[in-house]
C-alpha cells in the first residue's frame, strides 16, 4: 500500500511539473501572436491549463494523495485568473468565501474550470464604478455543495443565449459532468450564477 501511495504521489508530482512546463512554453509563444482574436483565444486556453496546474499543485502540497482544500484552491485560482485578464481586475473588488470543503481532482478540476470561465466572463464585460465580484462555496447539506458567483455588472443582455458563448458552453458541459446545472439570472444589481453539486 505504501509503495502504491508513493507511486501515485510521484505521478501527481510529474503531472504538476509537466503542466508548469507547458504553461511556460505557451507564455513564451504568446508574445509572437499578433492577431487580437487569436491572442485572446490563446490566453483563454492558457488560463484553463493554469487552473489544472493549480489543482495539481494544491493536491501535492496538501500531503494527501487524493484531497484538495477548495477554499485555498479557489482563492489562488481567482488571483491567477484575474491577473491574466488584461485590465479586467483593475478597480474590481473580488471576494472569495468558502467553507472548509475538500474533495478529489474529479470535483476540483471541473469546479475550478467553471469558476475560471465565469470569472473571466465577468471581468471581460464592462463594469460600473466600484465594481465587485463575489464567489461563495458552501455545503448546504452533507450531500451537496453550492457555488454562487455574483457581480454588480450590467447583467445578462436581453435574449442572452448561453449556447452562443463558448465560455458558458464549456462551463455548462463541466457542470453536467458533475450532475449539476448552471442557473444564471440577472438581478437588480447585476448577475448571479448558482450551481448545486450532489456529492
Q: State pLDDT tens for residues 47-83.
A: 899 999 999 888 878 777 689 999 999 999 999 999 8
pTM value is 0.85
Residue 100 reports pLDDT greater than 60 = yes
Phi-psi group of 196: left, alpha or beta (phi > 0 → left; psi -120 to 50 → alpha; rest → beta): beta
All domains in the chain, ordered by first residue = 2-198 (3.30.565.10)
The pLDDT assigned to 6 comes to: 62
Calculate mean pLDDT across residues 183-192. Answer: 89
Residue 21: other Cβ atoms inside 10 A: 11
C-beta atoms surrounding 161 within 10 Å? 9
Q: Over 70: is that where the pLDDT of 1 sits? A: no
Amino acid at each position: 500500500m505504501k509503495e502504491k501511495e508513493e507511486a501515485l504521489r510521484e505521478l501527481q508530482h510529474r503531472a504538476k511539473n509537466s503542466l508548469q512546463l507547458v504553461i511556460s512554453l505557451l507564455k513564451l509563444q504568446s508574445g509572437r501572436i499578433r492577431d487580437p482574436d487569436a491572442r485572446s483565444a490563446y490566453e483563454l486556453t492558457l488560463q484553463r491549463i493554469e487552473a489544472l496546474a493549480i489543482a495539481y499543485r494544491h493536491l501535492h502540497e496538501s500531503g494527501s494523495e487524493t484531497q484538495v482544500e477548495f477554499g485555498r484552491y479557489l482563492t489562488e485560482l481567482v488571483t491567477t485568473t484575474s491577473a491574466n485578464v488584461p485590465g479586467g481586475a483593475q478597480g474590481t473588488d473580488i471576494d472569495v468565501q468558502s467553507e472548509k470543503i475538500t474533495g478529489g481532482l474529479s470535483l476540483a478540476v471541473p469546479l475550478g474550470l467553471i469558476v475560471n470561465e465565469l470569472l473571466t466572463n465577468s471581468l471581460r464585460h464592462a463594469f460600473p464604478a466600484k465594481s465587485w465580484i463575489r464567489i461563495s462555496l458552501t455545503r448546504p447539506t452533507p450531500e451537496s455543495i453550492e457555488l454562487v458567483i455574483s457581480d454588480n455588472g450590467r447583467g445578462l443582455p436581453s435574449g442572452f443565449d448561453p449556447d452562443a458563448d463558448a465560455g458558458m458552453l464549456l462551463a455548462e458541459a463541466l457542470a453536467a459532468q458533475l450532475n449539476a446545472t448552471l442557473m444564471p439570472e440577472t438581478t437588480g444589481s447585476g448577475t448571479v450564477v448558482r450551481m448545486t453539486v450532489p456529492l
